[in-house]
Amino acid sequence: MEIKNCRWIPACGEETWPRMISTANDGMHDFGYPCFMPEEVVIDGLTVEDMNTPDDYDGMYFFADPDTGAEEELPDERPYPYAPCKKVIVKHLTTASGKAPRVSPNEKASAATVVEGV
């Protein structure tokens, strides 16, 4: 996946904690096929207008938390796990807030993804 020469205004300027790519798969449902994120994401020339954020904001996320919305505690081993992104390559990314981007609020997703260039 490539993101090139773009300007992103998260939530159309409404207050939000920006998550660039949505992920919503807790690994508990059988979709009938393997689920995965792109192996590699290249960001080259992205401006993020992240000025309208909560007080405790400390940087946008590349990926949302795939476990958001789970109604019960999820096991570590899941029957239908999805394959997370392996690498994010970043060139020429600027944020209006000046805060560095992070991988995900999900610790496992963050640990599985290498970020180059930030």
**Domain boundaries, position 99:** 2-23+35-68+81-116
The pair phi, psi for residue 11, each rounded to 5°, is: 55, 30
| Domain presence at residue 74 | no
| Domain presence at residue 75 | no
| Domain presence at residue 29 | no
Residue 25 confidence class, pLDDT cut points 50, 70, 90? confident
pLDDT tens digits for range 54-102 = 999 999 999 999 888 776 788 888 999 889 999 999 999 999 999 999 9
CA distance 3 to 1: 7
Q: How long a stretch of residues is the chain?
A: 118
| Domain presence at residue 7 | yes
| Domain presence at residue 64 | yes
Under DSSP, the state recorded for 83 is B
Number of domains in the chain: 1
Map tokens 């954020």 to a residue: 53
Tokens (6 digits) for 74:
């999820």
In this prediction the pTM is: 0.90
| Domain presence at residue 87 | yes
